[in-house]
Structure 1
Amino acid sequence: MGNLIRAEFLKILTTRLWWALLIPAIALALGWAWLSSLAFTDIANDIGDALNVSISETEIAVNSIALTRAMNFATLFPMVFGALALASEINRKTITTSFLTAASRSSVLGAKAIVYTLWGVIYGLVVAGAASLGVLIGSGGDLVPDAGDWILILLTGVLACMLWTLLGMGVGALLGSPVATLVILLLYAALVGPVSELILWVSSEGSNVAGVLPNGSANGLTGSTAAELLYNQIVEIGGGNPSETEKEAFDMAVRAAAGAPGAFSTWISGLIFLGWTTLFFGFGIVRNNKRDIT
């Protein structure tokens, strides 16, 4: 297994795909976080001026939403990276040599799973760093979460990147065609998923139906984390004892702003998305244990 893992890393590092996708992931995360945090900060300062109060980094950390939104968008790139992991090799039949020379197909697929899990984490860490830098530049350090909350949001973003990588890998393994895999995944993640989830959320009057779907649960990882942290901060600053209805209304609004309308809480969203990842990845592995490689 060790040799297979080393061979898989070498195979990835000797191609341009890993950095060709990493560069736009960095640019998107940094740029989106920069612009959105700049907008959030300006709006908050304008409201503060209108009310004749001071807005500073000690106030409500609305730029948590900018941070989560930027990472959610950037997960497209680790998803594409994972999607091509097996689909390209199956399409070009280069997987045949690996299957024939290894002890078993399961060992090859297991090595790929380990390697692409690590690459998903790498993408997640880089995206988290780029989004953090963008928020700091755009906000000037104002309206940002404290260090502990910031790290928690980043960790959920890293987890989302890792799971998207494996889900993409599973879909690619099922279809065996890079073109079909990319078209389906990109259409779903960038258009069909967000639009259908918003329609479901609106038509169901704010229910959690959209949070059960892959895109909704993935975005809920970061979006729900930001919502919960912002709610706790508001209660701490403003005091009082909001009702459960008021808390749900606030969570709903923040999750929608973070691109996760109808999402469940962080841990439930994580479990749902883990379930989708396991489903696609598991079927993809089973499919390739029986696939004709000639």
Structure 2
Amino acid sequence: MVKNEISSNVNKWEREMPPSHYIDSFSKLATMLSKGGRQYFKSKTFDASGYKWNFLIYPDGDEKTDSKGHISVSVCIEDTATLPKIWAKYAELKFFIYDQARKKYSIFQVGGSSNLHDFHSLKTEWGITKLVSRAAFDDPANGYLVNDKCVFGVEVFLLDSQFSEESLSMCVEGYKTFTWTVSDCSNLGDEVHYSYEFPVSSFKWRIQLSGGEHLSLCLELVDEKISCGKHQEGEACGFITPKLNWGWTKFARLTDFQDLSKGSVDSNCIEIEARIMNIYTINS
């Protein structure tokens, strides 16, 4: 068996599933091309990732590259006249040869940082110049060419250039403190109590308090202009979350909180302080 020495920047592996975008079988491929005076075979146009492509096979290498004695393969994007004057498409390419002896497809792909190919108006064709040597390809023991028949394939996946972007900016820096005095703490009950609204930066806030078995305590963003606020709480937790309030559903047991010996309640009143250290906004 003639061993195929692939280029150092090309990765090779196998799978049983055929390529999803294009596959073609050949009989006496080299003979057909030599008699026709052509250097390469060009497939019919096929669709992949929303664009039209052609698959090219050079049975004895591409004359434009130093690949004589090897099979070269490439894909070419078509219908570029419909694209903008300045355009670029980044594609991940996989090339296939069917191993008829092992009933598997050998997959070849350029690896490393160059596995994405930049198609643009000055470079509409990309591929692998030395996919497999002709000696290894012609050796029946490798399974690529059996009874003068072979099968090639290709997969094309585009990297979508549309992306989501967010920008983070600080609205206010420094301490902003709000104090709320709550009276008649022994009769909080299960209902929710709110402080009056107070401004910090260009936003309105309030404190939310409720009783029950545990005391629940939250800071709430109440600005009507914001449907899904994002705020950052510094000392308490250090997080960014798409919620309009944040706090504790079980801040303290109510019986412990109302225990005068613990010093939290004075004259049946409690004083709650909310300190907003920094506010950041995220614009999508």
Query: TM-score when scaled to structure 2?
Result: 0.22
Query: TM-score when scaled to structure 1?
Result: 0.22
Higher strand fraction (1 or 2)? 2
Greater RCO structure (CA 8 Å; 6+ sep): 1
Higher helix fraction (1 or 2)? 1
